Structure 1
């Protein structure tokens, strides 16, 4: 049972004159008690005449998935199985991160009828947003007291990564078409296949001259090459403690997801096979053996459920995990953090095992605030801050140099620039024939 503002106002409406009368006469106690009894009788009568919220049957309808930053509508259907009309309020107990407004929705459901109420959800975190209960408050005809019950009505909404970096996909696909079609790769390298013959022009690689065709045609002819299809791309996301840090108001792991999704979409269009692994000390997510639209669907589903773990990543197990995925030569993308030399020791220790068999690219997010701090030296405090920022950037350069010495590539950038930078690195590997 819940007390409403009307009941409080009713009690106050009678108490004020009784108190004033009691001050004048000196005998207000009987009148005061009588008024309270009358108010309680009216309240009990109101509760008896109110419809029972436990006679309501609830059914929920909402989409199963929504992208982070987008909105979804949750519809709640309320069916009255009782004999009295239910006039009241409904509060849907969603998690705060589901982005539900703090609103109590009014319902008026006659007996044996159904009404619906809708709620707009705008989640601000990935993952499963859940709701299990709905609280209904049913008022009587006078609105003095209300009957209240909490009913079970489970719901679930999976919030997928935003994939805002897909805006870079059309320009990268256009460059991929240039590599694969209109302007074939002019440099002969490992991992390319023969495309066609054409006449030699100044600047072409003399190693691509086809001497037999030159003898037949009487002109110098060279071979052109196009990138091979059906290559393997393995993306490994570090879900250890360093992935939980927020950079530019975004967790590192979310930037890694954006980069992986853009790379997967581009590699799929190039005809390559993409496998994905999220790992720290155990597998947090795996997508393997799918292509096309199904690949992207499974990727976002797997990523939606992965959160950073506050433990150190077991880098010694990464080569074995990659071998389980593929025994062929592949592009292995390691998404981690290299801004802390101490945390990068495990990565540097296992890189030789990977670079012997694969092309390895290490990606890491760089804080744009740190880069901006190196340029701000207007005060004593900003000079000290700039020195600390310079030290941090030097640490990143030191680790990057060590990674390159071990035969891997390094791609760094802010949360906004890292996804397209990784896509550009992939296209560069394609163009050079290394993939």
Structure 2
């Protein structure tokens, strides 16, 4: 193929026939000369098969951050290379599709750093590296088809972790957890505690905590200390159906649920409880169970990164059946969904009776403040449209209250908060249940 430089040279060469008394002969001579030059230039272009590509760099990044992935270009042929290279990623990876010019002698290598600023969480793959090899005059170049470039492109996927704005609440929640731990040991045995160790009696200890047999053996007064129960089970069920696609403010409801589930998972892991994850709509989209506390937390975050809302009705029967398939040890089940009447009453409610019997259940939903705002009529000059909108918003709020009342009557704890308080409220419910020994 020829370049723009050849087109410019051809335009300059077109002047000669116009000045010649034999224009057709002159035009033929010019074309033959230019064709010969282009042919020689093309034969001097290095073979594309002599280019070896490889990558290294970041594989994960939090949404809102930047990642750097380096592409190594090596000339393994015995001829110099004058290359034009374009490294293309999916648009949401946030890469500038700049063209890079390289000049490689035989056996040398150059590196190209691509800075990515993703705009969505999930997996963001590299698409294609397109190569061109130019001749020394840059009049012609070699380029293969897209399929050939696809086969030579080194695969790379950047996993963009979901936003975690509620991480700022972690110091506060962990401080509450530490205070709770200390209060239990000082108070002595109570609900939700288990034996920790023995220590010498000090003034102020509850005499009911004295272990008389251990005191007789030690020939000193010894008391038992207690700590909150560990190794409790917490299971986060994320609804990824159509209601999770509704936008609360400037983000989908699913993103707010992921943020709250991340805060709850980190907090429960620090409290030495076991956290599992299940995400479902008409199919199981993600499932994380088993493994150590720290490694599981990494797996939980990675699994949530790839979740996207699906425009289908959630099959709660499938999700609850998957929950009940596990062992029947009592657990805290937190269901992140919407308090919409139809999916709750027709989908989730028939499944709750058995679930509540076996587990402690929390239904957590993000409230849209826009609905409450629309339910209030303007102070003056309300039109008929305003009245209809307010009536529809009031009806939606009434249905939400009815759903909340039905769930509470079944023994379900309902969290219904706005986006800025949602994650904190879910964490507070966990801490309260942990303190009361009701997990």
Q: Which TM-score tier does this pair reach, normalised by the shorter chain? A: 0.7 to 0.9
Residue in structure 1 matching 2:401, options 390, 397, 420? 397
**Given that residues 107 and 117 in structure 1 are in contact (C-alpha distance below 8 angstroms), is that contact kept between their aligned partners in structure 2?**
no
Alignment of 1:302-341 (within 5 A): 302-341=303-342
Alignment of 1:22-421 (within 5 A): 28-131=23-126, 133-149=128-144, 150=149, 151-182=152-183, 190-192=191-193, 227-342=228-343, 344-375=345-376, 377=378, 380=383, 384-421=388-425
Which stretch has the larger CA shift, 345-354 or 274-283?
274-283
Counterpart Cα distance in 1 of 2:377 and 2:98: 45
Counterpart Cα distance in 2 of 1:247 and 1:16: 66
How many Å apart are 1:176 and its aligned residue?
A: 1.2
Q: 1:14 to 1:366 in 2, by over 3 A?
A: farther
Counterpart Cα distance in 2 of 1:320 and 1:194: 35
Q: 1:269 to 1:152 in 2, by over 3 A?
A: closer
| Partner-residue secondary structure (3-state), 1:237 | strand
* TM-score normalised by structure 2 residue count: 0.83
Q: 1:108 to 1:412 in 2, by over 3 A?
A: farther
**Given that residues 186 and 224 in structure 1 are in contact (C-alpha distance below 8 angstroms), is that contact kept between their aligned partners in structure 2?**
no
Which stretch has the larger CA shift, 7-16 or 83-92?
7-16
Alignment of 1:415-430 (within 5 A): 415-430=419-434
Counterpart Cα distance in 1 of 2:378 and 2:186: 47
Q: 1:111 to 1:177 in 2, by over 3 A?
A: same
Q: 1:242 to 1:103 in 2, by over 3 A?
A: same
How many Å apart are 1:394 and its aligned residue?
A: 2.5
How many Å apart are 1:400 and its aligned residue?
A: 1.3
**Given that residues 88 and 107 in structure 1 are in contact (C-alpha distance below 8 angstroms), is that contact kept between their aligned partners in structure 2?**
yes
Counterpart Cα distance in 2 of 1:433 and 1:185: 16
Alignment root-mean-square deviation, CA: 3.4
How many Å apart are 1:187 and its aligned residue?
A: 12
Counterpart Cα distance in 2 of 1:89 and 1:376: 62
Counterpart Cα distance in 2 of 1:81 and 1:311: 51
Counterpart Cα distance in 1 of 2:84 and 2:369: 47
| Partner-residue secondary structure (3-state), 2:35 | helix
Q: 1:82 to 1:342 in 2, by over 3 A?
A: closer
**Given that residues 275 and 325 in structure 1 are in contact (C-alpha distance below 8 angstroms), is that contact kept between their aligned partners in structure 2?**
no
Which stretch has the larger CA shift, 422-431 or 238-247?
238-247
Q: 1:145 to 1:265 in 2, by over 3 A?
A: same
**Given that residues 6 and 144 in structure 1 are in contact (C-alpha distance below 8 angstroms), is that contact kept between their aligned partners in structure 2?**
yes
How many Å apart are 1:334 and its aligned residue?
A: 0.8
Counterpart Cα distance in 1 of 2:183 and 2:191: 21
Q: 1:16 to 1:315 in 2, by over 3 A?
A: same
How many Å apart are 1:287 and its aligned residue?
A: 1.6
Counterpart Cα distance in 1 of 2:411 and 2:266: 26
Counterpart Cα distance in 1 of 2:350 and 2:401: 18
How many Å apart are 1:199 and its aligned residue?
A: 7.4
**Which whole-Å deviations, capped at 9, do the CAs of 1:118-173 have from their partners, x for residues lacking one?**
11122222332223531111222222222123233222222222323211111111
Counterpart Cα distance in 1 of 2:164 and 2:405: 30
**Given that residues 283 and 318 in structure 2 are in contact (C-alpha distance below 8 angstroms), is that contact kept between their aligned partners in structure 1?**
no
Counterpart Cα distance in 2 of 1:173 and 1:354: 29
How many Å apart are 1:332 and its aligned residue?
A: 0.9
Counterpart Cα distance in 1 of 2:12 and 2:410: 84
Counterpart Cα distance in 2 of 1:352 and 1:237: 19
**Which whole-Å deviations, capped at 9, do the CAs of 1:259-314 have from their partners, x for residues lacking one?**
11110111122222212212234332222223432121110122233333343322
Gaps of 5+ in 2: 212-223
Gaps of 5+ in 1: 201-207, 214-222
Aligned position for 1:12? 11
**Which whole-Å deviations, capped at 9, do the CAs of 1:49-75 have from their partners, x for residues lacking one?**
222222111111122322222221111
**Given that residues 46 and 143 in structure 1 are in contact (C-alpha distance below 8 angstroms), is that contact kept between their aligned partners in structure 2?**
yes
**Given that residues 284 and 319 in structure 2 are in contact (C-alpha distance below 8 angstroms), is that contact kept between their aligned partners in structure 1?**
no
